[in-house]
Amino acid sequence: MPITEQQLLQILPNAGRQAGVFVSALNVAMNRYAIIGAPRVAAFIAQIGHESGQLRYVREIWGPTAQQLGYEGRADLGNTVKGDGSRYRGRGLIQVTGRANYKACGEALGLDLVNQPELLEQPQHAAMSAAWFWSTRGLNTLADNGEFAKITRRINGGLTDQDDRLLLWERAKKVLI
């Protein structure tokens, strides 16, 4: 069953008009990557809700902060050309980061994200990239098992802002189950 705009707003009240902008794109993306059923959808919406500031940001706000400066030259992200750190900053609803991840995501979605990274700022691609990331990291299985902390670690590398993520997850479960 697809998520409705009303449900999205109940889970992510700060999304405002963005809920209407993203609802169709999210349903298409979740369907394509088998993010189906309340446990999966609740965990997915909670995580993308946090990562995107409740659907308000599809591009990482650039300071640059010390952490963002650290993206430059990071071989594990494929950032090998000067300027890659900023060019391949986090984009999409799960914040795909780094040249290598843009390349892999682009290949999966049939987009040239290496030459046009800003495509991930468009709602349909922002949603699809998040669902692609979710699927390629095995997060459906973790959602089925209620392993929300493990999901956060795979997305974020740690448990950054876990309180907010858990609040959104609890809200999503109430709305969807």
SS3 at position 77: helix
Please give the residue range of the domain that contains residue 88: 66-120
As a whole-number percent, the residues of the chain with pLDDT over 70 amount to: 100
User: CA 23, CA 44: separation in Å to the nearest integer?
Assistant: 13
Contacts 24+ apart (CB under 8 A), 67-72: 71/97, 71/98
Q: State residue 1's pLDDT score.
A: 80
- The rounded mean pLDDT for the chain is 97
> With bands split at pLDDT 50, 70 and 90, how would you rate the model's confidence at 177?
confident
Query: Final residue of a domain: which of 120, 135, 161?
Result: 120
pLDDT at 89 over 90: yes
Q: Do 15 and 48 belong together in one domain? A: yes
Q: Do 133 and 46 belong together in one domain? A: yes
Report DSSP letters for 43-59, one per residue. HHHHHHHHHTTTTT-SB
Q: Which of 5, 51, 60, 72 is catalytic?
A: 51
**Total domains, the chain:** 2
Q: What is the distance of C-alpha 167 from the center of its chain?
A: 17
Q: Is 51 a catalytic residue?
A: yes
Q: Which CATH number do you get for residue 85?
A: 3.30.20
pLDDT tens digits, 117-172: 999 999 999 999 999 999 999 999 999 999 999 999 999 999 999 999 999 999 99
Q: State residue 127's pLDDT score.
A: 98
Q: What is the largest CA-CA distance in the chain?
A: 48
The DSSP secondary-structure symbol of 3 reads P
Q: What is the pTM of this model?
A: 0.96
